Amino acid sequence: MNAALERIEGASIPTFVVDTRAIAERVVADEIVALMRTRPTAVLGLATGDTPIGVYRELCAAHRAGGVSFARATTFNLDEYLDLDAGDGATFREWMQEQFFRHVDLARENAHLPESKPADPNLTAERYEAAITAQGGLDLQILGIGRNGHIGFNEPGSSRDSCTRVVRLHEVTRSDAVRAFGALARVPTRAITMGIATILDARRVRVLAFGARKKEIVRRTLLDPRSSACPSTFLRDHGDVKLFVDREAAALLHHAR
């Protein structure tokens, strides 16, 4: 692996510290490009938020340069807010459209996110899980971590065995989302998310965490007891997971070194 990646020996999840987030973004994007070349029909698990944005930027650039095609790929996003109209600029579908989908050759019908205003959200969630299974599962999941330890929208208290389902959003999650919505009252209270079991079923999981605001949750992810109180601790169960952190996010890891 890249010399710019410093591995933390003995960490509970294989963890790599990078000097700048751009290095991690490039490493993860390169891995996805390599996967797409060896397996053009790959099934990718995608994430939204500030964290993965540079990975999409790299993938779009690679596509523009003729280095990768997503024409035969399928994607499933981790989650989507409920109770927003389709086309609302705050939906994750619109975000994905802006950051990735409209820049690449992925077929629209192969780019899956849960609906944001379905007639029957529970049924939508059940069908989403079934659709992932029907595609043979996820080859590679990109993941960020919420400041409360959520992965996708699996908030504290989520079970290790959870599948795709309707969830209530935690207050930390909602207040972090004010950035996107402008006011707390506008942030949805519910979402559909892949479950923890769904995420851990992905054949590879690549987790990113950047900046000082993530240092405490990075520490807890690696060092807290493995439990529903901090869902990201369940990532330790995965056989092919890698966590990439920049120096700021790694600031509290001296015990793990």
The burial class, CB within 10 Å (0-12 / 13-18 / 19+), for 171 is exposed
The values of phi and psi at residue 45, to 5°, are: -95, 125
Nearer to ligand GLP, 51 or 116 (CB): 51
Positions annotated as catalytic residues are 79, 148, 150, 155
Stretch that binds ligand GLP, among 5-13, 23-31, 42-50, 226-234 (CB under 6 A): 42-50
The burial class, CB within 10 Å (0-12 / 13-18 / 19+), for 241 is buried
The binding track of 74-113 with respect to ligand GLP, each residue x by CB under 6 A or -, is ----xx----------------------------------
Q: Which helix (H) or strand (E) holds 44?
A: strand 43-46
Cα 185–Cα 159–Cα 147 angle in degrees, nearest 5 = 45
DSSP β-bridge partners for residue 241: 205
Smallest distance from ligand GLP to CB 173, Å: 5
How many angstroms separate the first and last alpha carbons of the chain?
19
Is there binding between residue 73 and ligand GLP (CB under 6 A)?
A: no
Site for ligand GLP in 162-221 (CB under 6 A): 173
Nearer to ligand GLP, 25 or 79 (CB): 79
Stretch that binds ligand GLP, among 9-17, 24-32, 145-153, 242-250 (CB under 6 A): 145-153
Is there binding between residue 146 and ligand GLP (CB under 6 A)?
A: yes
Q: Which residues bind ligand GLP (CB under 6 A)?
A: 47-51, 78-79, 144, 146, 152-153, 173
